[in-house]
Amino acid sequence: MIIVLKRHASETDIATVSDLVCSLRYQPRIIRGVEQTVIACIGDELSNRSLTVLQDLPAVEAVFPVQKKFKLVSRDYHPSDSVVNVQGALIGGGNMQIIAGPCAIEGYDQFRSAVQDLTRCGIKIIRAMPFKPRTSPYDFQGLKLDGVKIMREIKKEFEVAMVSEVPGPAQIEILRDVTDMFQIGARNAQNYDLLEHLAHAGKPVLLKRGMASTIEEWLTAAEYLIVNGCSQVVLCERGLRSFDKTTRNLLDIGAVAVARQLSHLPVMVDPSHAAGSRSLVAALSRAGLAAGADGLIVEAHPDPVNAFSDAAQQLDSSSFGDFLKGLEPWMTLARAERAADR
């Protein structure tokens, strides 16, 4: 950490601050400038106590941390791209995936039909959501255990990988043998207890960014997973809450590029929950790929207009092939760009 002292700081002030720095287990290095003195404090900021406690001393102007809060997630720690393996479907390091499926499992026929349409188009990872944590308790909450049963039957028939949102620690065991990747939804993006529990489940995790999380908070949430033993983490940008209701959420394309710079973890984009409207999903998908995403997670339903949740934004699974065809030039460019990056 760096401590900048005020202009009038005396030798006694410098000695007082230095002593406090030592008592907090950092080594102070005093740098006397023409106008101000700076104390560079050497020590591990992640394991030691923060020196920001010194911020209120009369002689201190500012305290700046140097280390990032997300060490294991950062590119400084692991310069090359990580590759996440979801039952043989790779994400990251030049491997792109489009995950697709309905917002929720609503019944056997609905889910089977979606999976049949999507696997025919070559989709390797299906959104399989028996649990739906919703903002309102009156909205459809998912079929829960009945949905898990349907998921199990369909998985057996199609032998396709599935990603499922886990709403709380109690659902980890329920889903563990049937899901291939856990999703942490935007509403749970900073539920640290859940992240810690999930890290021990031994499965890849798709970590959505919270609707009001900073990039640092998003990456630090990923750090919870990695530091607790889960190395297979995919970040997912799904849009932020904004003042403008024209789109459901404000897709933060800049965050996709920043996350790729700061972190070695693969980054995906969810154009569906950002758009809130079918007509915008293709454009936001192209934008995500252009910004550096390693893939997309897209909602698709066999009868979107009658979907129990998110009806306005789901694509029709029977024409998902046309959506993929439209994305082909962008996928090709993205693959070439990722290969050149390596």
Q: Mark the segment that binds Mn ion (CB under 5 A) among 33-41, 226-234, 246-254, 309-317.
A: 309-317
- Determine which residue in the list 9, 84, 103, 225 makes contact with ligand PEP, applying CB under 6 A: 103
- Smaller CB distance to ligand PEP: residue 127 or 338? 127
- Least distance to ligand PEP from the beta carbon of 186, Å? 4
**Under a CB-based contact definition with an 8 Å cutoff, are residues 195 and 217 in contact?**
no
Region from 55-63, 77-85, 185-193, 251-259 binding ligand PEP, contact rule CB under 6 A: 185-193
Least Cβ distance, residue 133 to Mn ion (angstroms): 11
Using the 8-state DSSP alphabet, how is residue 144 labeled? T
3-state secondary structure of 81: coil
DSSP class of residue 139 equals S
Using the rule CB under 6 A, which residue among 273, 278, 286, 338 binds ligand PEP? 273
Contacts of 5 (CB under 8 A, 6+ apart): 13, 14, 17, 36, 37, 38, 39, 59, 60, 61
If phi > 0 it is left, if psi is from -120 to 50 it is alpha, else beta; for residue 295 that is left
Interface pick for ligand PEP out of 81, 117, 165, 294 (rule CB under 6 A): 165
- In the bound state, the residue with its beta carbon closest to ligand PEP is 185
Rule CB under 6 A: say whether 154 interacts with ligand PEP: no
Task: Please report how close the Cβ of residue 74 comes to ligand PEP at its closest, in angstroms.
Answer: 24
Write the CA distances from 76 to 67, 69, 70, 79, 260, integer angstroms. 11, 12, 10, 6, 12
Residues in a beta bridge with 299: 101
Tell me which of Mn ion, ligand PEP, none is bound by residue 165, counting a contact when its beta carbon lies within the kind-specific cut-off of 5 to 8 angstroms: ligand PEP
185 binds, among ligand PEP, Mn ion, none (CB under 5 to 8 A by kind): ligand PEP
**Which positions touch ligand PEP (CB under 6 A)?**
103, 129, 165, 185-187, 208, 238, 270, 273
